[in-house]
Structure 1
Amino acid sequence: MVELLKVHGSLNAFFILDQTKLTHPLTDPELVAFTRKITDPATGILGGADGVLVVNQPTRAGAVAEMRVINADGSEASMCGNGLRTVARYVAERDQLTDFKIDTMNASLRVRQQDDFAAGVPAFAVEISPVKFANTALPYENLGHQRLIDDLVPELLPGLRFTAIAVPNPHLISFVSKEELAGDDLGELGHRLNTANPYFTDGVNVNFAHILGHNSLFVRTFERGVGFTNACGTGMSATSLAFALTHPDQADFDKPLNVYNPGGMVKTIVHHQQGQYWIELIGNATFTHTLELSEEALHQADLSQVNNINETGEQTNYQQFVAGLPKLDF
């Protein structure tokens, strides 16, 4: 039998599948079929999820594992910050490590165990990089800019300023009022830019952020391949960098930022070293359930064979942590 984990970072929920423990790893079409099935709120398990995190053998020297991110719609993301924290915890416990590197699509990223966020809420810090600003890195076109840094973009929405950053996932960011954050524009723009459009032809993650105070933000994300999500780790990281770049009087480099989201809160630290930007994302790595499935059923995406579903009890601890956060009227 193969053990799967249901996990989340800031309620950005996933299933972890460790393919190093399989006799025969799934093919890519099998991974897509399995992901679409298990993450679907109607046909999946435990209410579905935002994607499947696949743990493989490392592909680069110095790393101990590889993480692939298969979104709920079957597309593959180059990175997932919330997911990487949970994979980091899984690998740390599997291999008895506290500070190591995990391969992602574009880079080997450092991950480190942190002090618990709260009682019974394990936390990990993960590196978010590389950072790119050029339109070709996201990519986008037909917007009259080779890069967007706090620019008016009338082709998208009137009156709002946008910043575009690849980390390496592509992110479009706007700092907005509370009223704009609660309105319909984020959903409408996110849907428009993630269907056929002349601007972001590969789609883009769209983030609306409201500044709460010095080094403090609330971020809401429409995620490519997912839609509205409780939190997006790379989105909060890219938005933190945009905050520090465009509001230098309100955000500091090399100091923790509190970034709130619909699923809870993380901390980020924005760095600029040797001419390069990178972000440290620190937050919970919660395991909510374990479940078992035969390898044959896994290859066939036959969820009728799932058994031994057990709660870990960690979700109660996380809910208590969230209940203790400042109340925000969003």
Structure 2
Amino acid sequence: MAELLKVHGSMNQFFILDQDELASPLTDDQLTKLAIQLCDENNHILGGADGLLVVDHGTHTGVRGRMQVVNADGSRASMCGNGLRTVSRYLSEKYGKDDFVVQTRDVDLHVRRQPELAPGIPAFAVEISPVSFTPESLPYANLGHQRLLETAVPELAPQLKFTALSIPNPHLISFVSQDILDGPTLGQLGQFLNGDNPYFPDGVNVNFAHIDGENQLFVQTFERGVGFTNACGTGMSATSLAFVLTHPEDGHFDTPINVFNPGGMVKTIVHHDRQRYWVELIGNATVTAKLTVGDSMLQSDQLTATDFKIDQTNEQDYYDQFVKTVVSQRHQ
């Protein structure tokens, strides 16, 4: 029998599958089909998810394990910050380690267990890097600039300024008023830039942020390959970096930043050392259910909830209480 976990980081929802625990690992095509089926809310498998996180032992020494990210539409992401926290918890509990390195598609990243965010809410800090501001790293073209750093880009939206960077996922960031944040612009821009367009040929994650005060943000993300999500870990990290670079009166290096999102809150710490930027992302790693299924069913084209034995945990109750506290804290 195969076991999967339903997990979330800031309500960014995933399934975790450990390939090392299977009699026969799934092929890339099989993982794509599995992710699409698991994540489709119409299949009624615990409400679907934003992606499938595939874990194995890694391809080189010095790492505790490897994480691969399969988006809800079957596409691949180079990294996922919220997902990395949940994978870090899984590997920590599997191997009994609290400080180690995880291999991702492009880079090995340091992770470590943190004190609980609140009672019943395990937390991890994960490294988010590397950072690049070059148009080739996203990529983008036809915008009239070799670097976007709080830059007016009339091709994208009137009266807004944008920052573009990869971390390593590609992100476009704009600091906006509450009215713009609540309006349709983010959805319209996200859909346009993740369809056939002349500016971002591979698509891009689009983040709108509201500055709530010193070292405090609210971030909403339209995620490439997913759409609107409750939170995006690399998006909150990229936005935090853009915050301290372009609004130094409010955002500070080497200082915890409270980043609120529709799924709760994380903390980020932006670092610059030896001409290198990197971000610590600190937040919950919540397991909501354990699912058991026959190994052969993972290759089925017609998975439904009835194919699984599902055991719910009580961790979501603790997280819901945390979110109530977070919402109250943001509006104080």
Query: Structure 2 CA distance, aligned partners of 1:260 and 1:236?
Result: 9
1:124 aligned partner: 124
SS of match in other structure, 1:16: strand
AA in 1 matched with 2:68: R
Further displaced range: 18-27 or 201-210: 18-27
Q: Give matches, 1:31-42, under 5 Å.
A: 31-42=31-42
Contact 1:207 1:221 in 2 (8 A): yes
Between 1:22-31 and 1:183-192, the stretch displaced more is 22-31
1:307 equivalent in alignment to 2:308: yes
Q: What's the TM-score once normalised by structure 2's chain length?
A: 0.98
CA distance in 1, matches of 2:236, 2:48: 23
After the TM superposition, which residues 68-217 of structure 1 pair with which residues of structure 2 at under 5 Å, given as runs? 68-217=68-217
After TM superposition, give the deviation of residue 227 of structure 1 in Å: 0.2
Q: In the superposition, relative to structure 1, how do residues 161 and 246 fare at CA in structure 2: closer, same or farther (>3 Å)?
A: same
> Following the alignment from structure 2 to structure 1, what is the Cα–Cα distance between the partners of residues 255 and 326?
20
Asked if 1 retains the 8 angstrom alpha-carbon contact of 2:14 and 2:50, the reply is yes
Q: SS in structure 1 opposite 2:30? A: helix
State the percentage of identical aligned residues: 60
Tell me, yes or no, if the aligned pair for 2:264 and 2:327 is still in contact at 8 Å.
no
Report Cα offsets for 1:54-82 as digits up to 9, x if no partner: 00121233111000000000000000000
Map of 1:54 onto structure 2: 54
Residue 299 (structure 1) shift: 2.0
Corresponding residue of 2:317 = 316
**Partner amino acid, structure 1, of 2:275:** G
Offset, 1:191: 0.1
Q: In the aligned structure 1, how far is the partner of 2:21 from the partner of 2:175?
A: 44
Unaligned runs of 5+ in 1: none
Q: Does 1:237 align with 2:237?
A: yes
TM-score, reference length from structure 1: 0.98
Q: Contact between 1:81 and 1:126, CA under 8 Å: does it hold in 2? A: yes
Q: Deviations over 1:22-76 (max 9, x none)?
A: 1111111100111101100101400100000000121233111000000000000
The CA distance in 1 between the partners of 2:147 and 2:294, in whole Å, is 48
Provide the C-alpha distance between the structure 2 equivalents of 1:260 and 1:301, rounded to a whole number of angstroms: 38
> What is the aligned partner in structure 2 of residue 25 from structure 1?
25
* CA–CA distance in structure 1, aligned partners of residues 206 and 325 of structure 2: 28
Q: RMSD of aligned C-alpha atoms? A: 1.0
Moved over 3 A (4+): 326-329
In 2, distance between residues paired with 1:99 and 1:139?
A: 33
Residue 7 of structure 1: aligned partner: 7
The amino acid of 1:206's aligned partner reads: V
- State the number of aligned residues: 329
CA contact (8 A) 2:118 2:322 kept: yes
1:260-291, Cα deviation, whole Å (9 max, x unpaired): 00000000000001110000000000000001
- How many angstroms does 1:15 deviate by? 0.2
Alignment of 1:225-264 (within 5 A): 225-264=225-264
Deviations for 1:152-194, whole angstroms, at most 9, x for unmatched residues? 0000001000000100000000000000000000000000000
Partners of 2:44 and 2:54 lie apart in 1 by 17
- SS in structure 2 opposite 1:146? coil
SS of residue paired to 1:118? coil
Partner of 1:63: 63
More displaced stretch, 293-302 vs 18-27 = 293-302
Displacement of 1:239 in angstroms is 0.0
How far apart are the structure 2 equivalents of 1:70 and 1:120? 28
Amino acid at match of 1:236: M
Q: How far apart, in 2, do the equivalents of 1:137 and 1:295 lie?
A: 38
Tell me, in whole angstroms, the C-alpha distance in 1 between the residues paired with 2:129 and 2:164: 15
2:170 aligned partner, one-letter code: P
